[in-house]
Amino acid sequence: MAHCKWRSKIRRIEKVVVVIRLSSGNNDNRYTKNEIHMNEEMKPCPLCKSPYGYAMNESVYACPECAHEWNINEKPEEEEGLRIKDANGNRLSDGDTVIVIKDLPVKGAPKPIKAGTKVKNIRLTDGNHNIDCKIDGFGAMGLKSEFVRKA
């Protein structure tokens, strides 16, 4: 069985011509040309900001880099604040109550924070430890959101 390599070059003009070079192990080379009709206008992806978003139909665009699809008629949701999720993927917000999911060692403390410890009234911050809170018996500290779940 011959090993095939695919190479493609895409040029943006009114019609995009994709040239695919097929080469097999025994060095016989063939070229195949396909014409793809695409909308000339490309829109940047709202997720990864790639400038190569292309039209799938009249109102739906797709990103070839992150595979995100979006409708250009819908307004994007502009959410202010931080987007921080817990270990289960639930979104956290200021003032939430969370539960620690594993024992966490604390520098300078004789004992760790035990799994199942409830932490009330959290504040979300930027940085590596993105939760500021007060824990009974330990005081004020920063936690990583990957070690808590929403209560």
Q: What is the pLDDT of residue 74?
A: 81
Range among 36-40, 42-46, 95-99 rated most confident: 95-99
Q: CA 74 to CA 71: how far, in whole Å?
A: 6
pLDDT tens across 13-37, in order? 333 333 333 334 444 444 444 444 4
Answer yes or no: do 65 and 20 share one domain.
Answer: yes
pTM over 0.75: no
With CA atoms as reference, report the closest residue to 72 among 38, 37, 46, 36: 46
Answer yes or no: do 89 and 138 share one domain.
Answer: yes
Can you tell me the mean pLDDT for 75-81? Answer: 62
DSSP-derived pairing of the beta strands 54-55 and 60-62? antiparallel
Give whole-number Cα distances, 45 to 12, 65, 78, 115, 127, in Å: 17, 9, 15, 40, 26
Evaluate if residue 56 carries a pLDDT over 50. Answer: yes
Q: CA 46 to CA 71: how far, in whole Å?
A: 11
With CA atoms as reference, report the closest residue to 46 among 70, 12, 20: 70
Evaluate if residue 66 carries a pLDDT over 60. Answer: yes
Which domain does 106 fall in, by range?
Answer: 84-150
Is the separation of the CB atoms in 11 and 23 below 8 Å?
no
Domain contains 134:
yes
Instruction: Kindly report the average pLDDT of the chain as a whole number.
Output: 76
The count of domains in the chain is 2
Is the separation of the CB atoms in 94 and 124 below 8 Å?
yes
Q: How confident is the model at residue 6 (pLDDT cuts 50, 70, 90)?
A: very low
With CA atoms as reference, report the closest residue to 135 among 109, 147, 123, 117: 117
Answer yes or no: do 145 and 98 share one domain.
Answer: yes
Answer yes or no: do 61 and 100 share one domain.
Answer: no
Answer yes or no: do 89 and 143 share one domain.
Answer: yes
